[in-house]
Amino acid sequence: MAQISLTFPDGNVRDFAKGVTPAEVAESIAISLAKKAISATVNGTHWDLQWPIEADATIAINTMSDEAPALELIRHDLAHIMARAVQELWPDVKVTIGPVIENGWYYDFDRKEPFTPEDLGAIEAKMKDIINARDPVRTEVWSREKAVAYYKERGEEYKVELVGMIPDDGQPIRMYWHGDWQDLCRGPHLQNTGQVPNNSFKLMSVAGAYWRGDSDRAMLQRIYGVGFKDPKALKAHLTMLEEAAKRDHRKLGREMDLFHMQEEAPGQIFWHPNGWKIYTTLQDYMRRQQEEDGYVEVNTPQVVNRKLWEASGHWDNYQDNMFIVEVDEEHAREKTLNALKPMNCPCHVQVFNQGLKSYRDLPLRMAEFGSCNRYEPSGALHGIMRVRGFTQDDAHIFCTDEQVEEETKKFVTFLAKIYAHLGFDQWKVKLSTRPEKRVGTEESWDKAEADLANGIRAAGYDFEIQEGEGAFYGPKLEFVLTDAIGRDWQCGTLQIDPNLPERLDANYIGQDGAKHRPVMLHRAVLGSFERFIGILIESHAGKLPFWLAPRQVVVTTIVSEADDYANDVVAALKAAGVRAEADTRNEKINYKVREHSLGKVPVILAVGAREIDEKTVSVRRLGEKQTAVMSLDDIVAELKLAACPPDLK
């Protein structure tokens, strides 16, 4: 019989019969290992214990203490167990696909009636029965024809389609049995359903999802679940979800009195004084930064005739997502159609096109806090993060081909400084390269992609590549920052666009005296103020850095005799540039401290008879229990510095 050599993690090499399974390998090492084994890693691939190994390979036997394979198997088996439970409860339900995702899995079903929360409870109970039955998991390799015939007979048309989509490149079509129930699956799986912990998973929600992610195809019902190795990990996950919910900017926005939204203006924000203070503080900061970095600021119209949008190409491509404004002008034969601007670039080209530009004017960095409106699909709206009216920290850099790399470097450096100022020290760059459908020559794409890559490197950063994700006219950079609880947000962007200058006929006079086409770089650091403020709120759980906090200090009185002194303290703080207010209400100090703590005011000062006598204040910082007594002069000096934006320190 043919032999193969298997290399173990410790470097040992042993010979086995060709076609040996990892289960047999484990058994040959120790019965105890065979009992604990859940899967193997063969040549770096996650491998079922039942799959034969046909050639020399490296092998490692996995047990439940191997975190990554264990969780993958548990979640994958839970997906199958859930599908089986659903079909046992409702035999007419059709199964589709059920992959492992972060923290759990989902499975999509085709069923006429919606699943209710009570159904989820029933499914969960049935899943526990299946686990407790410890059904053996068995796998077989089937021919394509057999699999198709099997599913056709059962009316599982989604599975028929899935079998048809498996590429015919020799990879086996596998069937897995959990007891009597069977599913098409590439595996691997655990060896019996009882290996799945029966107390460490939870079905979370049910929602619609399109078959194959295509909005033109059937709407299925997706059930989400989370699964872990032990109840403690499940509990920790659920606690984390509660923590994330507490940070929800919609909830904090109300509690901190930052903004509200209402039916009459869906997807648009009514900023309250507190929220607007954050907004303007951030905008003032960005304006200073841009001026320092060589930008000029402009402002362009909100309502623009369709002619410009036709010229820019937006009318054809995005009309459904634009707010159209019909103007019925007096004496006009026809009504004119206009659109609220969904972006600023066409208008910026209009500014550029005024007067003749020389190569000496380039690079021209044109910035606008551009207020845009887009008719986003109703289902896309989310608090202040995804809205129909927003303001970008937008700018377009008009430059020559030769200047692209240097401008890229300059921008990355600029963005890095701003993210650092705003407290985001963890972020990454993604380079999206040429898509299948594109315009321009291969040489121009080669150069554009190289310019971006070199620009990032020159700024001292590394990047990931997103193959084929660029715009049809040029490659782009995406800047993704990580917030305080580890969530990623794409905020900044830099896109090379030779297309729009062409369409809108922008040009400059070169050194040779002839007309040339500039390149346009679209770029933003924050993305939109609305969304970025949402991210700031959630990342900080409402406890914004002092300089951005809308209410920085409240001076509370303990007795009404201290009212005058409190007002003096407020005046001193205001004179030092600190946002301060007095709370002289007829309430107890406990009450005031609680209220302002919930309002996320970073510093609460309390004053009573002692403080008046000593010209001091009692200082309580947000999140701290203990208080400290400080002289008025000291606290004013300290907070004056804290209130100073990071670029002015």
Nearer to RNA, 11 or 213 (CB): 213
The verdict on whether 516 is a catalytic residue reads no
Token couple for 546? 């002092």
Residues annotated within the binding site for Zn(2+) are: 345, 396, 522
Interaction with RNA in 79-138: which residues (CB under 7 A)?
114
Q: Which stretch binds RNA (CB under 7 A): 20-28, 167-175, 420-428, 616-624?
A: 616-624
Applying CB under 7 A, does 377 fall inside the site for RNA? yes
* Interstrand relation of 45-47 and 94-95 (parallel, antiparallel or unpaired): unpaired
Among the listed residues 44, 167, 379, 486, the single contact to RNA using CB under 7 A: 379
The verdict on whether 345 is a catalytic residue reads yes
Interaction with RNA in 241-260: which residues (CB under 7 A)?
250, 254
The verdict on whether 399 is a catalytic residue reads no
- Which residues have C-beta within 8 Å of that of residue 516, sequence separation ≥ 6? 359, 400, 507, 508, 509, 510
Number of separate helices (H) and strands (E) present in the chain = 20, 34
Rounded-to-integer distance, Cα 542 and Cα 276, Å: 15
Applying CB under 7 A, does 632 fall inside the site for RNA? no
Residue 303's CB is within 10 A of a number of other CB atoms, namely: 12
Interaction with RNA in 165-204: which residues (CB under 7 A)?
none
Applying CB under 7 A, does 438 fall inside the site for RNA? no
Applying CB under 7 A, does 589 fall inside the site for RNA? yes
We find the least distance from the C-beta atom of residue 72 to RNA, in angstroms, to be: 19
Among the listed residues 237, 382, 430, 517, the single contact to RNA using CB under 7 A: 382
Give how many residues touch RNA by CB under 7 A: 68
Nearer to RNA, 268 or 353 (CB): 268
Applying CB under 7 A, does 11 fall inside the site for RNA? no
Rounded-to-integer distance, Cα 604 and Cα 598, Å: 12
We find the least distance from the C-beta atom of residue 511 to RNA, in angstroms, to be: 31
CB 624 within 8 A of CB 614: no
Cα dihedral 191, 192, 193, 199 in deg (nearest 10) = -80
CB 618 within 8 A of CB 627: yes
Q: Which stretch binds RNA (CB under 7 A): 157-165, 178-186, 556-564, 640-648?
A: 556-564
Among the listed residues 597, 630, 642, 647, the single contact to RNA using CB under 7 A: 597
- The site map against RNA for 279-318 (x = CB under 7 A) is -----------------------------------x--xx
Nearer to RNA, 360 or 625 (CB): 625
Nearer to RNA, 32 or 586 (CB): 586
The verdict on whether 392 is a catalytic residue reads yes
Rounded-to-integer distance, Cα 577 and Cα 644, Å: 8
Handedness of CA 88, 93, 99, 100 (dihedral sign): negative
Among the listed residues 343, 416, 418, 580, the single contact to RNA using CB under 7 A: 343
Among the listed residues 604, 636, 639, 643, the single contact to RNA using CB under 7 A: 604
We find the least distance from the C-beta atom of residue 519 to RNA, in angstroms, to be: 15
Applying CB under 7 A, does 324 fall inside the site for RNA? no
Specify the length of the chain in residues.
649
CB 412 within 8 A of CB 461: yes
Backbone torsions φ then ψ of 276, nearest 5 degrees: -65, -30
We find the least distance from the C-beta atom of residue 491 to RNA, in angstroms, to be: 12
The verdict on whether 360 is a catalytic residue reads no
- Which residues have C-beta within 8 Å of that of residue 483, sequence separation ≥ 6? 424, 489, 535, 538, 539
Applying CB under 7 A, does 215 fall inside the site for RNA? yes
- DSSP 8-state code for residue 518: P
The verdict on whether 14 is a catalytic residue reads no
The verdict on whether 80 is a catalytic residue reads no
We find the least distance from the C-beta atom of residue 124 to RNA, in angstroms, to be: 17
Applying CB under 7 A, does 611 fall inside the site for RNA? yes
We find the least distance from the C-beta atom of residue 484 to RNA, in angstroms, to be: 18
- The site map against RNA for 500-539 (x = CB under 7 A) is ----------------------x-----------------
Handedness of CA 482, 487, 491, 493 (dihedral sign): positive
Residue 197, preceding bond cis, omega within 30 degrees? Answer: no
CA-based nearest residue to 220, from 395, 393, 93 = 93
Beta bridge partners of 41: 46, 60
Nearer to RNA, 139 or 557 (CB): 557
Rounded-to-integer distance, Cα 275 and Cα 301, Å: 25
Cα-only R_g, the chain: 31
Applying CB under 7 A, does 437 fall inside the site for RNA? no
Token couple for 184? 């098409």
Residue holding tokens 């609680």?
A: 594
Rounded to the nearest 5 percent, the helix, strand and coil shares of the chain are: 40, 30, 30
We find the least distance from the C-beta atom of residue 556 to RNA, in angstroms, to be: 8
Token couple for 371? 């207020």
DSSP letters spanning 150-177: HHHHHT-HHHHHHHHHS-SSS--EEEEE
Please report, as a single letter, which amino acid is at residue 75. Answer: R
Among the listed residues 253, 267, 492, 550, the single contact to RNA using CB under 7 A: 267
Q: Which stretch binds RNA (CB under 7 A): 135-143, 296-304, 404-412, 587-595?
A: 587-595
CA-based nearest residue to 173, from 150, 155, 200, 207 = 150
Among the listed residues 187, 342, 455, 474, the single contact to RNA using CB under 7 A: 342
Nearer to RNA, 494 or 578 (CB): 494
Among the listed residues 139, 193, 221, 290, the single contact to RNA using CB under 7 A: 221
Residue 91, preceding bond cis, omega within 30 degrees? Answer: no
Distance of CA 346 to the CA centre of its chain: 28
Catalytic-role residue among 394, 451, 497, 583? 394
- State the residues that interact with RNA by CB under 7 A: 114, 205-210, 213-215, 219, 221-222, 224, 250, 254, 261, 263, 266-267, 314, 317-318, 321-322, 342-343, 374, 376-383, 386, 471, 495, 522, 557-561, 586-591, 593-594, 597-598, 604, 606-611, 618, 620, 622-623, 625, 627
Residues marked active site are found at 345, 374, 392, 394, 396, 476, 522
